């Protein structure tokens, strides 16, 4: 099969997914958001995509602002708490700095380059997300001290666990909920 034929097939299937979900799986790694939702819908059946490309990534009947973060996992072993990739937040606009305080829930996942289901992901719900506000304060303060450099900032899963107990996070491996990570 030629590269043209392969790309035609990818684009045809991508359009079917877009029609099903209202979101292109190719634009800005949209497939990750789509699969975040599919994994989380197992425990939150009303979870759905938020409309628009700015603001909330998803919502439920009870939660208005759900943020999803994702990244690639390139190691052969599965991720652990200590080697989970840093979670990136765009801080390029002052208004974006404060947006993180509006999160009512946070989902984060890691994907291999070839696979729709995340290798691992986690969910921090409304009962615990506010516990991260001191971490957000620290991230913003560190960013504000910079004179030049990248327009983003990160924190790690280990830093999250300084504020939230591991048992208060919902964990998944390969799309299935696990009791501990």
End-to-end Cα, the chain, rounded Å? 41
Mean pLDDT of all residues in 90-118: 85
Distance of alpha carbon 98 from alpha carbon 140, whole angstroms: 8
SS3 label, residue 130: helix
Q: What would the mean pLDDT of 125-146 be, rounded to a whole number?
A: 87
The pLDDT assigned to 98 comes to 78
* Structural domain span for residue 80: 3-178
What sign results for the dihedral spanned by CA atoms 54, 173, 125, 99? negative
Mean pLDDT of the chain: 90
DSSP state of 129: G
Q: Taking residues 54-78, what's their average pLDDT?
A: 93
Residue 58's CB: how many other CB atoms inside 10 A?
A: 22
Here the CATH number for the domain that contains residue 8 is 3.40.210
């Amino acid at each position: 099969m030629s590269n043209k034929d392969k790309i035609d097939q990818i684009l045809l299937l991508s359009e079917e997914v877009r029609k099903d979900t209202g979101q292109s799986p190719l634009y800005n790694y949209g497939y990750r958001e789509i699969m975040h939702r599919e994994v989380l819908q197992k425990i939150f059946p009303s979870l759905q995509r938020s409309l628009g490309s700015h603001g909330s990534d998803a919502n439920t009947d009870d939660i208005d602002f759900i943020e999803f973060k994702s990244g690639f996992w390139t190691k052969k072993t599965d991720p652990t708490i200590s080697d989970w990739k840093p979670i990136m937040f765009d801080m390029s606009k002052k208004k974006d700095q404060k947006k993180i305080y509006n999160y009512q829930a946070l989902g984060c996942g890691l994907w291999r380059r070839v696979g729709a289901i995340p290798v691992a992901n986690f969910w921090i719900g409304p009962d615990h997300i506010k516990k991260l506000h001191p971490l957000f304060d620290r991230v913003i303060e560190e960013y504000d001290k910079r004179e030049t450099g990248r327009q983003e900032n990160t924190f790690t899963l280990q830093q999250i666990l300084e504020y939230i107990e591991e048992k208060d996070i919902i964990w998944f491996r390969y799309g299935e909920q696990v009791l501990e990570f």
